[in-house]
Amino acid sequence: MLVTERGLYCAEGDFFIDPVRPVARAVITHAHSDHARGGHEYCLCSESSLPLLHNRLSSVGRYETLPLGQSLKIKDCILTFFPAGHILGSVQVRIETASGTTVVTGDHNFTHKHAAAEPYESVRCHTFITECTFGLPIYNWPDPNWSLQKSCAGGSATANPIIPQSFMLILWGKPNVCYIC
């Protein structure tokens, strides 16, 4: 895997994963806007991501879907999608080549608490590449259950209409753990 100005590039398969600029062949991990962008000639995604991508992106030449767990040979590699547990259709991309097995995931969530996503599945590999937006040691997050209880304590839809709406919105937001009050 190579880091290029268009994003992460798999030379053995001649495709980019979640490219930041238009490319000929893109593999998209999930439909969030910081991973799925338009302008690609071809886009490979999970089956359950397709309606979301259709809805969000208007300028993709052609889509192809790949069922979870089913492998696809692309040039000199074999690509397989596994659920990432982040949002509906989010996947980890396993790439098997002669030099080893790499798993690339955009965002992932192994707590199985997301209301809509297919449950995360662990995948054996030699190299694991993941997004880590808030992974720097400067971030220190409280226990998610404590946050939920604090946010919802005494707050109902009538007492504070902002709280339930916020929790619904993060279905499409960045946090890896989603709660619905």
**Residue among 25 and 32 whose Cβ is closer to Zn ion:** 32
CB closer to Zn ion out of 33 and 59: 33
Q: Distance between CA 62 and CA 40 in Å, rounded?
A: 8
Residue 99: CB minimum distance to Zn ion, A: 28
Residues 66-85 that bind Zn ion (CB under 5 A): none
Looking at the Cβ atoms of 32 and 37, the one nearer to Zn ion is 32
Beta carbon nearer to Zn ion, 96 or 107: 107
Dihedral, CA of residue 26, residue 30, residue 35 and residue 41, to nearest 10: 20
State the minimum distance, in angstroms, from the CB of residue 159 to Zn ion.
Answer: 31
Report the nearest approach of Zn ion to the CB of residue 35 (Å): 6
Q: 97-136: which residues touch Zn ion (CB under 5 A)?
A: 107
End-to-end CA distance of the chain: 41
- Pick between residue 133 and residue 149 the one whose CB is nearest to Zn ion: 133
Q: Which residue is nearest to Zn ion (CB)?
A: 32
User: In the stretch 16-55, what mask flags binding to Zn ion with x, by CB under 5 A?
Assistant: ----------------x-----------------------
Residues interacting with Zn ion, by CB under 5 A?
A: 32, 107
